[in-house]
Structure 1
Amino acid sequence: MRPVIGITTYVEPATWGVWHDLATALVPHDYVAAVTGAGGRAVLLPPDDLDADVIGVLDGLVLSGGADLDPELYGAEPGPLTVTRPERDSAEVLLARAALEADLPVLGVCRGMQLLAVAAGGSLHQHLPDVLGHEGHRPAPAVYGRQEAIFAPGSRVAALMGDDRVVQCYHHQGVADAGSLRVTGLAEDGAVEAVEDPARSFVLGVQWHPEVVRDKRLFGALTAAASARKATDKTAHKAKSEAAGDPMG
């Protein structure tokens, strides 16, 4: 069976048929296609901050992109250009922390990388052009910026990306402090491009958008880690059942 990969969703007004501007839980299909193409079974997760019990039925998690995180999450006041989605923030911080605690394989994309950093005790730059002095990471509406990343030798992301260091990004916020995570990728201007947790089975955040190009290196690594977890859980369940005398396992 394919590993079940949860993908967090946006909540945005959407229009289809005769219905206009309905609040809708949605996600760009690129994420689903990237998970499916890498051998996973994509399941969409709408915001739900009642609990993080869904972690128990997932084999892996994609924290998707989207709007800015609420600066209150890292003890700051909102800047004039910060645009948040509180319903996502409360649900996804809960989910991310539960996933880290359970050592669930996680891939964070753009906002998802920033969420991982904040969930791990870090903080963000609310508007990178104020820090970097240029708009290169989001050059124009709906136009991806191209950055050449520098990856830490020996890191997971360096092994996955190899010599391919040009990435497509679209963001105006960035990681200022990665908390307990390790920064393993930087743009040439110093902006954080990748974070990971070497102590866990698979926790990787990237500031760019690998789903757009269906990058099987990153999504394949996630599904491989999720498949390994699924196999381990199945073996443990069978051993527990046999110990309890259940002939059906």
Structure 2
Amino acid sequence: MRPIIGITTYVMPATWGVWRDLPTALVPQDYAAAITVAGGRAVLLPPDDTDADVLRALDGLLLSGGPDISPRLYGAEPGPHTVTHPERDDAELLLLTAALDRDLPVLGVCRGMQLLVAAAGGSLHQHLPDVLGHEKHRPAPAVYGEHDAVFTPGSRIAGLMGEDVTINCFHHQGVADPGKLTVTGRAEDGLPEAVEDPDRRFVLGVQWHPEVSRDRRLFGALVAAAGHRS
């Protein structure tokens, strides 16, 4: 059987056919396609903060991208540019905490990496232009910023990426303090772009969007780890 990977989703107004602005649990198809291409079976997880029992049916967890996480998760007040979805924070933090307790393989993408950082006791810069003085990580609406990242030799992400180190970013927040996680990748301006927990079987966060290219290196690693549950 293919390893079953749960992908977190979010509730947003959506329009299709005769329906307009209907609250919908959704996530870009690229995430599910990336898992399928990598040999896994994607299952979408609507926000649900009742319990984490669904993890018993999963082999791995993918924390998808999306709006900002709430600064309350790292003891701060929201800034003027911060847009949050608290119901999603609560549901995903519940899943993530339980997944870490079970040593379930976890991949966090963009917002997902930021949630990993918050859960590890770290914190975020809420608006990177205020810190870095540029908008290269989110240059324009629906336009990815392109960077050549530098990865820590011997790290998991360095081994996965190899010589192709170009990444595509779309985020206005970034890691200020990684907490208990280890920063293993940075953009040319020094901003953390990858974090790992070397003490766990597979916990990796990337600030870019590998699902857009359906990157088999990262998603393949998640599926492989999910296929070897202890």
TM bin (shorter chain): over 0.9
Q: Distance in 2 between matches of 1:52 and 1:103?
A: 14
**How far is 1:205 from its partner?**
0.3
Higher-helix-fraction structure: 1
Using structure 1 for the length normalisation, give the TM-score: 0.91
Q: Distance in 2 between matches of 1:151 and 1:57?
A: 34
Question: Which aligned segments of 4 or more residues in structure 1 are displaced greater than 4 angstroms?
Answer: none
**How far is 1:172 from its partner?**
0.2
The residue aligned with 1:174 is: 174
Q: Distance in 2 between matches of 1:179 and 1:7?
A: 24
**How far is 1:188 from its partner?**
0.9
Q: Distance in 2 between matches of 1:228 and 1:55?
A: 15
Aligned partner of residue 175 in structure 1, secondary structure: strand
Aligned partner of residue 65 in structure 1, secondary structure: coil
1:11 matched to 2:11: yes
Aligned partner of residue 12 in structure 2, secondary structure: strand
**How far is 1:43 from its partner?**
0.2
The residue aligned with 1:153 is: 153
**How far is 1:52 from its partner?**
1.2
The residue aligned with 1:132 is: 132
Moved more, 96-105 or 38-47: 96-105
Question: Could you list the per-position Cα deviations for residues 153-210 of structure 1 after superposition, in whole angstroms to 9, with x for gaps in the alignment?
Answer: 1100000001111100000001111111111001110111000111111000000000
Aligned partner of residue 168 in structure 1, secondary structure: strand
Q: Distance in 1 between matches of 2:117 and 2:74?
A: 10
The residue aligned with 1:216 is: 216
Aligned partner of residue 228 in structure 2, secondary structure: helix
Moved more, 95-104 or 207-216: 95-104
**1:59 is aligned with what amino acid?**
D
**How far is 1:134 from its partner?**
0.2
Structure 2: gaps (5+ residues): none
Question: Could you list the per-position Cα deviations for residues 195-230 of structure 1 after superposition, in whole angstroms to 9, with x for gaps in the alignment?
Answer: 01111110000000000001000000000000011x
Contact map agreement 1:60 1:223 (CA 8 A) in 2: yes
For 1:71-150, what aligned pairs fall within 5 Å after superposition? 71-150=71-150
**How far is 1:97 from its partner?**
1.2
**How far is 1:56 from its partner?**
1.5
The residue aligned with 1:22 is: 22
Q: Distance in 1 between matches of 2:58 and 2:121?
A: 24
**How far is 1:84 from its partner?**
0.5
**1:203 is aligned with what amino acid?**
V
Question: Could you list the per-position Cα deviations for residues 56-111 of structure 1 after superposition, in whole angstroms to 9, with x for gaps in the alignment?
Answer: 11100100000001101110010000001111011011111111111100110000
**How far is 1:26 from its partner?**
0.3
Question: Could you list the per-position Cα deviations for residues 113-142 of structure 1 after superposition, in whole angstroms to 9, with x for gaps in the alignment?
Answer: 000110111111100111111000000000
Aligned partner of residue 24 in structure 2, secondary structure: strand
Q: Distance in 2 between matches of 1:178 and 1:7?
A: 23
Contact map agreement 1:97 1:120 (CA 8 A) in 2: no
Aligned partner of residue 227 in structure 2, secondary structure: helix
Q: Distance in 2 between matches of 1:212 and 1:155?
A: 23
**2:173 is aligned with what amino acid?**
Q
Q: Distance in 1 between matches of 2:119 and 2:52?
A: 14
Q: Distance in 1 between matches of 2:11 and 2:21?
A: 11
The residue aligned with 2:31 is: 31
The residue aligned with 1:240 is: none
Q: Distance in 2 between matches of 1:7 and 1:221?
A: 15
Using structure 2 for the length normalisation, give the TM-score: 0.99
**How far is 1:42 from its partner?**
0.2
Aligned partner of residue 149 in structure 2, secondary structure: strand
**How far is 1:11 from its partner?**
1.0
The residue aligned with 2:44 is: 44
Q: Distance in 1 between matches of 2:143 and 2:222?
A: 27
For 1:180-195, what aligned pairs fall within 5 Å after superposition? 180-195=180-195
Aligned partner of residue 228 in structure 1, secondary structure: coil
